[in-house]
Amino acid sequence: MSKLVPNYQQPMTVIYQDLETDEHGLSQTEAQQRLTKYGHNALNQQKSTTMLQKFMAQFKDFMIIVLLAAALIAAFTGEVVDAIIILLVVVLNAIFGVFQESKAEEAINALKKMAAPDATVLRDGKLQTVKSDELVPGDVITLEAGDIVPADVRLIESASLKVEESALTGESVPVEKDATLVGDTELAIGDRLNMAYMNSNVTYGRATGMVVATGMQTEVGRIAGMIEAADETTTPLQANLTQLGKSLTILILVIAAVVFGIGMLRGSESLINMLLTAISLAVAAIPEGLPAIVTITLALGTQRMAKRHALVRKLPAVETLGSTDIIASDKTGTLTQNKMTVEKLYVNQQLVDAHTTKLADDSRLAQVMILSNDTKIMADGLAGDPTETALVQYNLDQQYPVDQLLTDRPRVNEVPFDSERKLMSTVHPLTNGQFLVAVKGAPDELLKRVTQVEVDDQAQPITKPLRDQILATNHELATQALRVLAFAYKVIDVVPTTVNSETIENDLVFAGMVGMIDPERPEVAQAVVEAKSAGIRPLMITGDHRDTAEAIAARLGIIEAGDDAAVITGAELDAMSDAEFGKKVGDYSVYARVAPEHKVRIVNAWQKRGKVVAMTGDGVNDAPALKAADIGIGMGITGTEVSKGASDMVLADDNFATIVVAVEEGRKVFANIQKAIQYLLSANLGEVLTLFMMTMLGWQILAPVHILWINLVTDTLPAIALGVEPTEKNIMQQKPRGRTSNFFSGGVFSSIIYQGLLEGGITLLVYWLALTYPVHANVTQAHADALTMAFVTLGLIQLFHAFNSKSIHQSLFTVGLFRNKFFNWAILIAFALLAMTVVVPGFNSIFHVTNLDAYQWGIVFAASISMVVIVEIVKFCQRRVLK
């Protein structure tokens, strides 16, 4: 059936037949019937989530469930204050999560807002203005410069029509459309010259066309459907915390059950006492402050990143950046400036750098560049076709008197550009009564009409060697992915009665050529170098042509110059199965002429290899891949609301280099969370070991109030302070952690085990010494002193261990004892809270502890400080082995 063939491959006669209409359009009655059949020309509204639903969703996290269990346990043991504190931490964490996720507009709704408000349509044989959401397939509409295309349209007639489709294709230059062309092969969106797509912009010319798709059936609608269907990816941080929460829960249940069972078998304790002992162990094992610490560390990271122009929408995105293996970047507006710029000049038979060359005020080349041009000079800048505005901007940058020339040489006639002859000519009066004909266009077409060439301000006959030199230069510039325009002129005495191509576009004098490109951002090349040194592979994904993409990628250092094998097009990608592409995905660093589904496919292929993928983009066509990636990065200035809404992070300055800054911040955040986890879990293991061994040995054990107070003092301020530790040296020279790593990687798990055993062992040793060599002869007093010393040692040793945790492997004296002022204050406050339970009158009875003398305090401090000494020795040995 003809309907199975894409519209751009069909002649209009077939489309008329399929849509049961003709070039005269529909009647109002028929249009209304079709509106009922097809529905409004609008995108589906994504279901909104209420604040309450967003808030409740925060409690699905496994670690939050563990915390709620801890609150119940604390309440069961009578520690209502601790239960309230834990619940406050959970609620604050949920509120902050809702606040972060509610900042941005929804992607689908943003797409809807982009739609054109009105359309000019032919109904009942008359042109009339209707709301664009009332358009139906079969409607005939008109388009002209400045219009937003309201639906997917098959062009019927076109006159010099140019449509800017960068939001869909990623190509920065408007596409010259031609209604007469019919595609005979599968084409990318940017190559379908007889089509205009919904939400693209008409920059030049005019056309009539037939609506062939509306609403969710359009290309934009298809993208919206892809966004809607995309699964939310779980970030490495979320996966790690979930895994940690499950592991801790199993560990807590096993330990509590074992201790309870052994205690009951021994028969020395009552059922209620053993139940309380088991609960104390559970409380000791749960790192109550971990979710708060993770949230605060991420939140502080987002604040630092915001100051450096990276705006984070979802907290876990901060850490995800730190584990990124692949940055798949859109070209236009991200790696490049999304602004055509004159880069090369061919003048006086020489190819020169445009940035260092100033044309004289009487230069014919400069005059033709400015005069044969439809750019409008506005108060807030230049308006018009990007290629033409680039020509004017170049001369303005070179302080050429543009305004004066336009005033002195007004346009009196013209032959507009059309895609067949690829030329544009304008006629301007000279002071001597003659007229200047200014012509610009494609070099090969313009040379057909040239008989002379200007050399050193003198016109001389053009020779074959000169013509060949010009064509060779054109080819040279084209191979560098530059867009080349040629310029010519002639002086005539009288303007012909009929001004057309035949009467004025002949016997021209060749003035020169320019090579233009959407140039790379100046800071991107260095950012690419830094990304590679950090073990991150940058990819370029663009809708632009292969040669252009390859040239820009080589200039940026993404690929080596001439490495054609690293470049693949969307058509070549279509020829591969997913399995074949999965095997070869590592061969490609540049993807040219791609469609939205290609971008998602590329992201998925790398993710199947276990890589963490960040995707940058600014267009509507980037949104599905931004959502599918582990972290989507939108552009704040040039980005559409769609791309921002689908992103996890937005670059406020559209600066690719900001991504490298964000990666560094992400790595710092992960490292600091890892330090906090090592500190918390080793401390909790020390507590568990202490209680377990005390129970097994039949010693008087620490009460739940002791464990809860130690946890409250040591699991909050010191752990949070570790979350704001300064960045360690050489963090950007390390390889990415990747998807398979977790918080226990890099020697953290073994450190948690030996440090936890060490803390528990030292605490038990102090308890044993206090019992064996008591200060008081009274047995009851001796036991009370021993318990107090064990309580203070277990708390104090954790505060000293916090210093060890400032780096996983580096010496404390290398990273700096007192660089982190917040950490210093946290330790002092935590020590004061711990000490006051012993030295402040009235607290002794609450915590069931005794006053210690100087000798006992000396033992406690010596034992606690030994933790730092032993860990420093172990780290030294580890560094020697790693070398």
Catalytic residue IDs: 330
201 forms bridges with which residues in the sheet? Answer: 148, 164
Torsion of CA 263, 264, 270, 276, to 10 degrees: 60
Token pair in block for residue 221: 């609608």
Widest Cα–Cα separation across the chain: 126
Pairing of strands 326-330, 175-176: unpaired
Q: Residue 427: enclosing H or E segment and its boundaries?
A: strand 423-429
The conformation of residue 200, written as its DSSP 8-state character, comes to -
CB 354 within 8 A of CB 345: yes
- Looking at this protein, which amino acid is placed at residue 772? T
Structure tokens at 823: 């950490």
- Cα torsion 18, 19, 21, 24 to 10°: value is -120
Rounded CA-CA distance 28/23 in Å is 15
Reduced to 3 states (helix: H, G, I; strand: E, B; else coil), residue 767 is helix
Which spans in 230-315 are helix H?
A: 236-266, 271-285, 290-307
Closest among 653, 656, 479, 518 to 164, alpha carbons compared = 518
- CA–CA separation, 135 and 682 (whole Å): 66
524-533 and 656-697 are packed helices; what angle lies between their axes, rounded to 10 degrees?
30
Beta bridge partners of 208: 142, 157
User: Which distant-in-sequence residues (6+ apart) come within 8 Å of 203 by Cβ?
Assistant: 145, 162, 163, 164, 174, 384, 385, 386
Q: How far apart are the first and last CA of the chain?
A: 70
Q: Are strands 118-123 and 126-131 parallel, antiparallel or unpaired?
A: antiparallel
Say which amino acid occupies 487.
F
CA dist., res. 172 & res. 518, Å (int): 7
Number of helices (H), then strands (E), in the chain: 34, 26
* DSSP for 124-172, written as a single string: TTEEEEEEGGG--TT-EEEEETTPBP-SEEEEEEEEEEEEE-HHHH---
Please name the residues in contact with 601: beta carbons below 8 A apart, sequence gap of 6 or more: 573, 578, 581
